[in-house]
Structures are given as structure tokens and as C-alpha cells.
């Protein structure tokens, strides 16, 4: 057995060495591609999101190009002429039957997503019901991470609907419920006077907070709605601060926040 192996190695030593060299060059080129892309992404992630997306696309294209080119060179080293094979109608039909159509569909969808700027790396999106931050966009797939650190990889060709929460400023609504016994005009004037200071503490606020008035007369009280416009996906900390601030204002001015109550009637005539 060992004699057969040694004979094979001696007979094909030049071919084996050439193959190893091609593989080594391919690995080095792919490593350089990864390092350059990683450094570019780290430097530009916050300021140039679309450029980062394009860089990752280019990385994906270069990776596939290196793989295909190195495979062709290795086959040529071993004396395999792939030209007639690729030109054969039977082989081409077999490739398509084995899934090339799906792959082509993914690639075309990937080009559309990137060049039509549907979303970029770092955008918060919801794709077919799954919401999270875009980690990576390649020709074949999109990688998203949710708030719970769940990572989902979606084939680009399977994406049916996309909601991008990062393209435009976010408009939020905050509902405050007060009891019917409260002076609604007093409460609204107080909120309008005090809430303007919120913007000084939160630079992400673009517009507001604005008190739009009583939006609903509910069973448990009157609902006063406050609107807020912030930089995309930067509303959460501001909304928490507004809720806390409103509670403090109400406590200082003896204003009661309405809450669910159960009223029990005792009918003595039925005893």
C-alpha cells in the first residue's frame, strides 16, 4: 500500500506541488480580502453604511471569483479540460436541474437589494416577520440578528417583504391616562410647559415632544397623547425618560394617573 502511495507521489509530484501552491495562494488572497473588508467596515460602519454594504458585496464577489478561478487552474493542472464539459447541453441541463435556478435567483435578488438600496448593514429591518439588525448582505443571502441575539440567514431569493425602520425618522406616540376628575386643560398646559425641556437632554430628538390633546375617552380615564419624532430607532430612551418625567410632574401637582378599578355594589334589598 505504501509503495503505491510513494509511486503516486513520485509520478504526480509536480502536479501535487502546483495544486498545493494554488490552494495556498487562494487562501492567502481570501485572507487579505477578509482583513481589508473588516478594517474598512470597522472604520466606516457608523458614517457610511451603504459603502460598508458595497464593501461586503465586493468581498463576497472576490471570494467566489477566487474559488472559481483556483478551481479552474487546479483542474487545468490535472489535465482536465472543462471547456467541453461546460459547453455540453446535457451537463448544463443537469446543473440547472440541481438548483442553479435558485442560486441565480438569489444572486439577482442580492444585486437588486444592494443597488436599489433596500437596506444596508446596520439597518433595523423586518424581513418576512423577523425583525433585527442587518449584519451582512451578500449576493446569496442576508444575515440578521434580533434583539435576543438570534441570528437568521435568509436566502435573498426567498425575501418577499421588507420593512426598513432606519430609512426615515421614527415617529412615536406616548399615551398618558388621567382620571375624569382631573382638569384636562390644566394637565395639557402643564405638559406643554414642562416637556419642552426634554429635547435639551436628548440630541436624537428631531421634533417634539408635542401634546396633541385628548385622543380617547376610555372606560378607565381620559387618554392624552404625546407625539415624538427622533432619529431612526433612537426613540426608546426618550420615551422612557418622558414617562418618568410625566410621573414626576403629576406627583408634584397632585394629578392622578387613571388605573383599572373594580367597583363592587352591595344591594341590601337582595339580602
| Per-residue model confidence (pLDDT) at position 153 | 94
- Helix axis angle for 49-77 and 101-115, nearest 10°, is 150
Per-residue pLDDT tens digits for 219-236: 888 999 999 999 888 888
Average pLDDT, the chain: 83
Please indicate whether residue 170 or residue 2 has the higher confidence score (pLDDT). Answer: 170
Q: Which CATH number fits domain 170-252: 3.40.47.10, 3.20.20.10, 3.30.70.100, 3.30.1490.70?
A: 3.30.70.100
Mean pLDDT for the stretch of residues 159-172: 90
N-to-C CA span, the chain = 103
> Each residue of 213-248: b (16+ CB within 10 Å) or e?
eeeeeeeebbbbebebbbebeebeebbeebeebbee
Give the pLDDT band of residue 102 (cuts 50, 70, 90).
confident
Mean pLDDT for the stretch of residues 131-156: 91
| Per-residue model confidence (pLDDT) at position 222 | 92
44 with 111: CB under 8 angstroms?
A: no
Among 82-91, 168-177, 178-187, which stretch is predicted with the lowest mean pLDDT?
82-91
Residues with Cβ within 8 Å of 25's Cβ and at least 6 positions away in sequence, in order, are 70
For residues 143 and 129, give the distance between their C-alpha atoms in angstroms, rounded to a whole number.
14
| Per-residue model confidence (pLDDT) at position 127 | 93
Q: Which helix (H) or strand (E) holds 204?
A: none
258 with 179: CB under 8 angstroms?
A: yes
Among 90-94, 154-158, 177-181, 185-189, which stretch is predicted with the lowest mean pLDDT?
90-94
In 168-242, the DSSP E strands lie at 170-178, 205-218, 221-230
For the cut 70, the answer to whether the pLDDT of residue 82 exceeds it is no
Residues with Cβ within 8 Å of 196's Cβ and at least 6 positions away in sequence, in order, are 209
Per-residue pLDDT tens digits for 14-44: 788 888 899 999 999 999 988 888 888 777 7
Per-residue pLDDT tens digits for 200-220: 889 999 998 999 999 988 888
- Percent pLDDT > 70 in the chain is 83
| Per-residue model confidence (pLDDT) at position 261 | 60
Please indicate whether residue 20 or residue 13 has the higher confidence score (pLDDT). Answer: 20
pTM of the predicted model over 0.75 = no
For the cut 60, the answer to whether the pLDDT of residue 159 exceeds it is yes
Give the pLDDT band of residue 58 (cuts 50, 70, 90).
confident
| Per-residue model confidence (pLDDT) at position 226 | 94
Amino acid at each position: 500500500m505504501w509503495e503505491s502511495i510513494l509511486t503516486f507521489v513520485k509520478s504526480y509530484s509536480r502536479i501535487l506541488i502546483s495544486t498545493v501552491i494554488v490552494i495556498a495562494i487562494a487562501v492567502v488572497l481570501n485572507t487579505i480580502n477578509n482583513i481589508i473588508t473588516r478594517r474598512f467596515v470597522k472604520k466606516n460602519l457608523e458614517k457610511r453604511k451603504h459603502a460598508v454594504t458595497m464593501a461586503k458585496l465586493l468581498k463576497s464577489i472576490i471570494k467566489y471569483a477566487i474559488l472559481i478561478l483556483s478551481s479552474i487552474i487546479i483542474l487545468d493542472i490535472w489535465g482536465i479540460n472543462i471547456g467541453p464539459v461546460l459547453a455540453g447541453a446535457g451537463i448544463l441541463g443537469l446543473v440547472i436541474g440541481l438548483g442553479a435556478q435558485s442560486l441565480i435567483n438569489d444572486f439577482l435578488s442580492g444585486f437588486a437589494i444592494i443597488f436599489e438600496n433596500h437596506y444596508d448593514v446596520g439597518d433595523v429591518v423586518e424581513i418576512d416577520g423577523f425583525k433585527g439588525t442587518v449584519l451582512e448582505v451578500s449576493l446569496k443571502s442576508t444575515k440578521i440578528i434580533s434583539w435576543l441575539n438570534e441570528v437568521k440567514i435568509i436566502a435573498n431569493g426567498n425575501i418577499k417583504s421588507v420593512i426598513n425602520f432606519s430609512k426615515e425618522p421614527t415617529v412615536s406616540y406616548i399615551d398618558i391616562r388621567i382620571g375624569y376628575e382631573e382638569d384636562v386643560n390644566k394637565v395639557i398646559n402643564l405638559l406643554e410647559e414642562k416637556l419642552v425641556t426634554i429635547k435639551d437632554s436628548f440630541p436624537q430628538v428631531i421634533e417634539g415632544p408635542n401634546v396633541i390633546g385628548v385622543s380617547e375617552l376610555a372606560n378607565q380615564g381620559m387618554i392624552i397623547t404625546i407625539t415624538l419624532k427622533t432619529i431612526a430607532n433612537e426613540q426608546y430612551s426618550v420615551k422612557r425618560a418622558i414617562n418618568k418625567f410625566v410621573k414626576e410632574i403629576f406627583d408634584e401637582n397632585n394629578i392622578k394617573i387613571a388605573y383599572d378599578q373594580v367597583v363592587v355594589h352591595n344591594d341590601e334589598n337582595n339580602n
